[in-house]
Structure 1
Amino acid sequence: MNPALEAPGIALRAGALIALRGFLGQGGDAAQLSALPGGFVTKRRGHGQEVADVREYVAGDDIRHLDRGATARTGTLHVRRFQEERDRVTVLVADFRPSMLWGTRRAFRSVAAAEALALIGWQVIEEGGRVGLLAVGAGEPVAVTVRGRARGMLAVIGGLVRAHEAALELALAGVQEDPPLDQSLSGLGRVAPVGAELVIASGFDVPGDGLPDRLTELARRRSPRLIWLHDALADNLPPGSYPIRLAGGGRTRARISGDGPAFAATQDRHIAGFPALAIDAGAAPEVSARRLSAAFPPDREP
């Protein structure tokens, strides 16, 4: 590979993605509201094995759930209530199409997308869930089967690294056209089981006319959540005339007037009718970790 593509922020390293596990919990332990659907932190009651609380018996309670200790101490019947056990499955979707392979500061948007997904994936694993991967680009997609524990997350990281290296190789070979994102996501329904959470990290360039329909179709039996990777410096370039090199080797200039409103680095938006969390590719991983921790609380509804 070209040595220039080995630089930090351009190459995607497995070690760096593994180290992101240390950033878990940087958003604090307090319950927060999310910019994404299901942002209210809740606890479900159900028939699992983890005790949620103990309260006085009322008519209709299951007598099998009597708490002998509380009953003996108080002299009144008490019953246990249990947390519902849920098999949380999260499929991480990385956009490594050519438009993601650039950045003005710390890292390419593609690298920042992989970092954001790794942070979420490690959180899911820590909560006892399972993770899988679909990485899309200009070539063949890379899929990793849903698995649990650290071994499952390491397999996802390996898939991210392989897919990113393939994307850089295609860029070196002159592939610069983005396939429409709606077409790239066409196989997601086969990769993600029913009921899964889908976390799609993309710049959403060249979305394709069918992206709203694609996401709506997925939302019928799954929970899509969008992370929009942008570059805050590029979004707020000062007025001036900028040289641009075209794909065919020619050159032109683009003039930016500076009349439009400045973009706030924490501003979220709606894409194809779905809320999207904004992550600045130029921000440090710990900054992104705090935003993701608030937007993806541990007890979010799947």
Structure 2
Amino acid sequence: MSAPLDVPGVRLRAGDLIALRPVALAAVGEPALSDLPGGFITRKRGHGQEVADIREYMPGDDLRHLDRGSTARTARPHVRQFQEERDRVTLLIADFRPSMLWGLTRAFRSVSAAEALTLLGWRVIEEGGRVGLLALSAGEPVIIPARGRVRGMLDVIGALARAHDAALETALAGDLDDPPLDDGLSRVERIAPRGAELVIASGFENPGNSLEDRLNALGRTRAPRLLLISETAATRLPRGSYPIRLPDGTRTRVAGASGGAAPEVRIAGHVALELDAGAAVEETARHLAAAFPKDREP
């Protein structure tokens, strides 16, 4: 790694992502509403083996579900309710294309994208799900199949760090053109099973000609969730286009716009949660905890 890039906020370090686990879990609460319009459906009840609730017996309840402990303590019959068992799989999709490799304040947008996905990944693992990874860049994508437990999340974190290092080196070599995002998403159906949750963290530059069609097709059998990683410091600049030089000597342009960001952001016809790359990770974790409640449907 080149010395100018080996600094916090530019280089993605696996140890920093591992340290986000307590941040992710501390941010989990019981918000009444989601950050995303409409929220998510609450947990279904069914006849799995995981107990969802214990309540007093009502005529017509199945006596096979009688809870002996509660019945003995209260001297009134109580029955168990069970929740439907599902294999929750979440595919984290990180955009490390060249347009993500810059930032104005705390961190590159690519680093912020990885942090947001890691915060969600730790929560999924804690809730008993499985996590996989698709990291997109100007080079070959990095793919990690979905696995559970801490070991699975550590595999994802290691791959995120390696993919980000490779993306920085590719940009340093002069490859600064973004491949279309829709082309990168063409691999998703081969990686994520039907019913999986897809969390895409991107700036959504160069989406390609068929991103909306791609997301709509994926949405028929999977659940796409979009995280728009923005640099809101740019919204405080007067309207216009500003050339900037990055620490590695390359140049890019930042669009300024008067006024703040719209409260609801839509990308290719889908609602997206906008996250500020310059915000502290604790703030990002709180936004994600509200937008991705524990009992959401995949």
Q: Which secondary structure state, in structure 1, belongs to the residue aligned with residue 233 of structure 2?
A: helix
Q: How far 1:69 sits from its partner (Å)?
A: 4.2
Name the structure 1 match of 2:272: 276
Cα distance change on mapping 1:219 and 1:71 into 2, 3 Å: same
Cα distance change on mapping 1:37 and 1:145 into 2, 3 Å: farther
Name the structure 1 match of 2:146: 146
What residue identity is the alignment partner of 2:275?
A: I
Q: Distance in 2 between matches of 1:191 and 1:299?
A: 24
**Is 2:54–2:78's contact at 8 Å kept on the other side of the alignment?**
no
Q: Distance in 2 between matches of 1:244 and 1:68?
A: 69
Residue deviations 1:82-114, cap 9 Å, x none? 122221110000000000000011100000000
Q: Structure 1-normalised TM-score?
A: 0.89
What residue identity is the alignment partner of 1:14?
A: A
Residues 152-171 of structure 1: pairs in structure 2 closer than 5 A = 152-171=152-171
Q: Distance in 2 between matches of 1:282 and 1:21?
A: 20
Q: Distance in 1 between matches of 2:251 and 2:129?
A: 50
What residue identity is the alignment partner of 1:102?
A: W
What residue identity is the alignment partner of 2:260?
A: F
Residue deviations 1:203-257, cap 9 Å, x none? 00011110000000000100000000000112221368844569xx999999x8x
Name the structure 1 match of 2:55: 54
Q: Distance in 2 between matches of 1:118 and 1:132?
A: 11
Q: Distance in 1 between matches of 2:39 and 2:253?
A: 44
Q: Which secondary structure state, in structure 2, belongs to the residue aligned with residue 185 of structure 1?
A: helix
Residue deviations 1:93-142, cap 9 Å, x none? 00000000000111000000000000000000111111000001111000
What residue identity is the alignment partner of 1:193?
A: P
Cα distance change on mapping 1:67 and 1:187 into 2, 3 Å: same
What residue identity is the alignment partner of 2:172?
A: L
Q: Distance in 2 between matches of 1:250 and 1:224?
A: 33
Segment of structure 1 superposing worse, 16-25 or 43-52: 43-52
Q: Distance in 2 between matches of 1:284 and 1:263?
A: 19
**Is 1:38–1:301's contact at 8 Å kept on the other side of the alignment?**
no
Q: Structure 2-normalised TM-score?
A: 0.90
Q: Distance in 2 between matches of 1:228 and 1:70?
A: 47
Residues 30-49 of structure 1: pairs in structure 2 closer than 5 A = 30-36=30-36, 39-40=39-40, 42-49=42-49
Cα distance change on mapping 1:163 and 1:268 into 2, 3 Å: farther
Name the structure 2 match of 1:296: 292
Q: How far 1:58 sits from its partner (Å)?
A: 2.3
Q: Where has structure 1 moved over 6 Å in runs of 4 or more?
A: 249-254
**Is 2:245–2:252's contact at 8 Å kept on the other side of the alignment?**
yes
If you compute each CA radius of gyration, which structure gives the higher value, 1 or 2? 1
Structure 2 unmatched runs, 5+: none
**Is 1:26–1:286's contact at 8 Å kept on the other side of the alignment?**
no
* Alignment counterpart, residue 260 of structure 2, candidates 258, 263, 266: 263
Cα distance change on mapping 1:72 and 1:274 into 2, 3 Å: same
**Is 1:27–1:293's contact at 8 Å kept on the other side of the alignment?**
yes
Name the structure 1 match of 2:190: 190
Q: Which secondary structure state, in structure 1, belongs to the residue aligned with residue 20 of structure 2?
A: helix
Q: Which secondary structure state, in structure 2, belongs to the residue aligned with residue 134 of structure 1?
A: strand
Q: How far 1:161 sits from its partner (Å)?
A: 0.7
Please provide the CA RMSD for this pair. 2.6
* Alignment counterpart, residue 285 of structure 1, candidates 281, 284, 291: 281
Q: Distance in 2 between matches of 1:281 and 1:14?
A: 18
Number of paired residues? 295
Q: How far 1:15 sits from its partner (Å)?
A: 0.3
Name the structure 2 match of 1:114: 114
Name the structure 1 match of 2:101: 101
What residue identity is the alignment partner of 1:214?
A: R
Q: How far 1:162 sits from its partner (Å)?
A: 1.1
Task: Give me the identity figure in percent.
Answer: 63
Q: Distance in 1 between matches of 2:22 and 2:139?
A: 32
Q: How far 1:268 sits from its partner (Å)?
A: 3.8
